[in-house]
C-alpha cells in the first residue's frame, strides 16, 4: 500500500496521545513553530494505554494515525511513549511517505549527564517493558556503567487527567518517592510519559523543599526541534507569508478531537494550556 503524504506547507501537524498528556509536547511545538496549524487526537475512550497489551496499543495507534492522515496532516507526532513503543513501526510501515515522529523517554541525555551513575525513568508499564527504552538501556546505560531504576505508578496518568489535586494520595506518594530516589543517590529523573511534564513543577518544588540535588528532564523540547528540522528538510514549514492567521497576527486555534468527550475535559485542557490558547473542539 503506498499512501501519498500531504506536501502542502499549510497543512496541519497531527498529534496523538491516549489522553491529554501529548499537550505537553504540543506546548513545545506551539512555542517553537507558532505559525503552524495543529490537530490533536486524544483517545480518551481507551485511556490509559499503559496497562494494555502491545497488540491493542498498536491497533489504537493505527486508528489514530489513520484519522490524522485523513485530516490531511503533513507530519504526525505520536506524542505518547506507550503508543510509540508498540505502534510507531507499524504506523511507519502503513504510511511510508508520511513523516511520523515517535517518543522515547529522554534517558540517553540523563545517562550521559549523570554524575552519580544512577538515574530513574518514570513511565507506564508498557513503555518500561517496550523495546525502544530497553534498547537505550542496552546501548547507552550498560556501556556507561549507569544504573537505571524503572518507576511506575498506575495512578499518575489518572491524577494528571483529573487536574493533579495536591492533597491526593498520589501526590503524597510522589513526594515520598522523591525522597526514596535521593536516598538511592539518583541524580536524574526522566519523565518518560507525556502526561508527566505537567507535574514537573510539583517535583521541582519538592526537590527544592527537601534541598536535594536532582534534575528532571523530558523529551518535549527535543521533539519540537526534530519536527522543525524534518519539516525544514522537506520544505514543509508553514511561513507567515502563506498563513492567513499569522498575517492577522493571530495563532491558529488548536483543533482538538477526543474519542470520548466528557464535561470535565475542556476545563482540564484549558488549565494545562493556559486561558489564552484558542481551542476548537471536533465531535
Asked if 7 contacts 36 with a C-beta cutoff of 8 angstroms, the reply is no
Q: Spot the catalytic one: 73, 80, 94, 246.
A: 80
Nearest to 11 by CA among 257, 279, 255, 283: 255
Q: Which is nearer to ligand DGL, 17 or 187 (CB)?
A: 17
Query: Cα(94)–Cα(80) distance, rounded to whole angstroms?
Result: 19
243 sits in the region (left: phi over 0; alpha: psi -120 to 50; else beta) called beta
- Please state the closest distance from residue 153 (CB atom) to ligand DGL, in A: 11
Q: What is the DSSP string of 246-274?
A: HHTT-PPPEEEEESS--TTHHHHHHHHH-
202/178 Cα distance (integer angstroms): 11
Neighbours of 244 (CB within 10 A): 10
Closest CB to ligand DGL among 51 and 185? 51
Active site residue 193: yes
Tell me if 194 sits within 8 A of 80, measured CB to CB.
yes
Contact set with ligand DGL (CB under 6 A)? 17-19, 21, 47-50, 80-82, 124, 127, 157, 193-195
Which C-beta is closer to ligand DGL: that of 17 or that of 58? 17
Task: Kindly state the smallest distance separating residue 246's Cβ from ligand DGL, in Å.
Answer: 30
Cβ distance to ligand DGL smaller for residue 108 or 195 = 195
Q: Which is nearer to ligand DGL, 77 or 238 (CB)?
A: 77
Least Å from the CB of residue 42 to ligand DGL: 10
**Active site annotation includes 80:** yes
Report, in Å, the least distance between residue 155 CB and ligand DGL.
Answer: 11
Q: 518507576: which residue's cell?
A: 151
CB of 221 to ligand DGL, least distance (A): 16
What residues are annotated to the active site?
80, 193
Amino acid at each position: 500500500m503506498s499512501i501519498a503524504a500531504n506536501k502542502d506547507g499549510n497543512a496541519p501537524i497531527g498529534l496523538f496521545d491516549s489522553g491529554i498528556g501529548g499537550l505537553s509536547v504540543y506546548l513545545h511545538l506551539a512555542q517553537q513553530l507558532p505559525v503552524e496549524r495543529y490537530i490533536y487526537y486524544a483517545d480518551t475512550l481507551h485511556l490509559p494505554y499503559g496497562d494494555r497489551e502491545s497488540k491493542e496499543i498498536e491497533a489504537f495507534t493505527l486508528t489514530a494515525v489513520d484519522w490524522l492522515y485523513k485530516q490531511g496532516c503533513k507530519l504526525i507526532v505520536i506524542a505518547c511513549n506507550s503508543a510509540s513503543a508498540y505502534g510507531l513501526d507499524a504506523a511507519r510501515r502503513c504510511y511510508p511517505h508520511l513523516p511520523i515522529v515517535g517518543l522515547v523517554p529522554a534517558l540517553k541525555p540523563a545517562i550521559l549527564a549523570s554524575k552519580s551513575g544512577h538515574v530513574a525513568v518514570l513511565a507506564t508499564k508498557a513503555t518500561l517493558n517496550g523495546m525502544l527504552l530497553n534498547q537505550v538501556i542496552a546501548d547507552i546505560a550498560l556501556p556507561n556503567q549507569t544504573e537505571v531504576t524503572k518507576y511506575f505508578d498506575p495512578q499518575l496518568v489518572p491524577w494528571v487527567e483529573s487536574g493533579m489535586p495536591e492533597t491526593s494520595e498520589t501526590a503524597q506518594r510522589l513526594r515520598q518517592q522523591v525522597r526514596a530516589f535521593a536516598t538511592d543517590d539518583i541524580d536524574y529523573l526522566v519523565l518518560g510519559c507525556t502526561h508527566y511534564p505537567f507535574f514537573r513543577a510539583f517535583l521541582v518544588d519538592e526537590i527544592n523543599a527537601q534541598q536535594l540535588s536532582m534534575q528532571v528532564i523530558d523529551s518535549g523540547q527535543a521533539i519540537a526541534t526534530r519536527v522543525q528540522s524534518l519539516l525544514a528538510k522537506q520544505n514543509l514549514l508553514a511561513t507567515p507569508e502563506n498563513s492567513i492567521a499569522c498575517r492577522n497576527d493571530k495563532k491558529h486555534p488548536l483543533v482538538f478531537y477526543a474519542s470520548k468527550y466528557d464535561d470535565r475535559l475542556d476545563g482540564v485542557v484549558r488549565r494545562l494550556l493556559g486561558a489564552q490558547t484558542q481551542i476548537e473542539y471536533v465531535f
